[in-house]
Amino acid sequence: MCGIVGYTGSSQAAPILMDGLAKLEYRGYDSAGVAVTKPEGGNIVVKTKGRLSVLSDMIDGGCALQGTCGIGHTRWATHGEPSTVNAHPHHNDDYSIVAVHNGIIENFAELKVKLTDKGYSFYSQTDTEIATKTIDYYYRKWGDPIKAMVSFILRVRGSYAIAVMFADLPEQIFIARKDSPLVVGINGGETYLASDVPAILKYCRDIYYMDNMEIARLEKGKATFFNVDSKIIEKKTKRIEWDVESAEKGGYEHFMMKEIHEQPSVIENTLSCLLKDNSIDLSEGKVTDEFLQSVERIQIAACGSAYHVGVAAKYVIEDLARVPVNVDVASEFRYRNPVFGKHDLLIVISQSGETADTLAALRGAKENGVKTLAIVNVLGSAIAREADMVLYTKAGPEISVATTKAYSAQLIVCYAIAVRLAKVRGTIDDKRYTKLIKSLQSIPAQVKKMLADDTSIKWLATKIAGKSDVFFIGRGIDYATCLEGSLKLKEISYIHSEAYASGELKHGTISLIENEVPVISVITQPRLAEKSKSNVVEVKSRGAYVMSVTLSGNYDIGNSVDFCIYIPKTEPCFTASVSVIPLQLLSYYVSVTKGLDVDMPRNLAKCVSVE
């Protein structure tokens, strides 16, 4: 959601800002802008509604703006409609203060009234202009940028990552953070700022992660951090091991397709960090066997695709370890006043580690004395820092808004937790434990096999692209896969799709099945195959066009449907990792067939760091 970049150094700032903003396009946006401190003094702001390419044309890729210090922003509208006037950066009346901001200022109306009483007027509909003029007010009062930023932090309520330039203090940027991510990087005499690592990865690898309620002053080759008492604090950098190429398309037409094809290596890399001497070892994440033995109930909170990982994890954990699991959408979990037990474990799942609702769920559990375990992809993210235990996925940067490789990596971590939990609790023996680990190790090759030939899926995509409705049905773990397949299709192709537990068909859903409506049935669980086949017969008899994803050799099912994709025989607990692949590819090719923006679907953002 939105993107912030900043730079101060010896090079021209605007081209660097534009390059960084391009790396953050995946976060979603509807307008863009940059501000640069002019060599002769003062700030210049250029912004526009629409794609970054429009802004680039206005300033010749940044070459038309001269200055070695600047900030930039891609906006995803929250306060105020998408427009040039509402785009960032925002400024005070004489442009002596300019700012960019991610997040939502909850008490904006109260602040606006007080500022109006002080003689301020407003040109936009945004809370960011109010934030900028609040800082202006305190800077005029104190004459000190750090005091002004501290006063801002103490005065506003809500979430923010904010970067500010003062004309009185050329070549310096002042930043503050609460609940919205900010990272700072330094390389030689150059200092970089961004919402996310990919924006500055080509320039530096040693990154400072801003914590909540922190302020920083950025100068050429230097960053000084302060707490809300204006005291200097020491911070350590974290080394980013991703290579620059992992944040590029690498010859693929879209990031989504590149990331789909990265899944075998991502799964292998994640699994390699969880296995030692052919045994699952979670100690790097501070997850001990003694703790796992003490757990009586698991609660999982996540959003979007991560929630679907949680649904799959519920089936696997309960099946293998016989521990009860509840799964909640994080936005509901945080507000339903959940009941916690003394020996509960809350698992939160988030690619970015900054998802607002998931972070709130984690904090609520900790306030109730519940141990928390985070499954995240971003080192040093807010959720990773605040959880009691952390298991990292090794997915690298995921750029496409529609997650694929992070989803697959999260599944692998959940499988590892389930298998180790079962082992230490004695619900599986050594023989079964060894067999499950071998099955985990075979998943990368099975996924690779599914990616080897997608010709038939391309053909199916042309058939589905013109449809207005698609239904997904499955039982058990296959239902979890259907949830993810349906979400992928709807979010990047804009086709209405729904996933249903197959047994629910007769409870209303079947009334929507009519001639040639596509129904995608996932059937990978041997003990549920006969039941699932009967559901296929039900929809076929009502004229549905049925595609099935099933295990290799299930020709009885293949002969009962219009189109069938076979996946390699896999341990039933782990089939979600393989059966999701054709659904990802189908969604991708439907979107391409329709000529849509695969990587940046409308109205969506990669990281939802506000409610």
Active-site positions read 2, 606
**Residue 566, strand partner residues:** 550
CA 127 to CA 129: how far, in whole Å?
A: 6
- Residue the block writes with tokens 């199916």: 460
CA 17 to CA 52: how far, in whole Å?
A: 11
Asked whether 480 and 317 are in contact (CB, 8 A), the reply is no
E strand or H helix at 526, and its extent? none
CA 464 to CA 446: how far, in whole Å?
A: 26
CA 204 to CA 62: how far, in whole Å?
A: 21
- DSSP result, 389-437: EEEE-------SSS-SHHHHHHHHHHHHHHHHHHHHHTSS-HHHHHHHH
CA 590 to CA 445: how far, in whole Å?
A: 26
CA 541 to CA 56: how far, in whole Å?
A: 55
CA 175 to CA 216: how far, in whole Å?
A: 5
CA 521 to CA 471: how far, in whole Å?
A: 8
CA 329 to CA 115: how far, in whole Å?
A: 39
- Residue the block writes with tokens 């703790």: 291
Contacts of 68 (CB under 8 A, 6+ apart): 8, 9, 10, 11, 12, 13, 37, 171
Q: What is the DSSP letter of 5?
A: E
Nearest alpha carbon to residue 327 among 340, 341, 309 = 309
End-to-end alpha-carbon separation of the chain, Å?
11
Contacts of 207 (CB under 8 A, 6+ apart): 183, 184, 185, 197, 200, 237, 238, 239, 240, 380
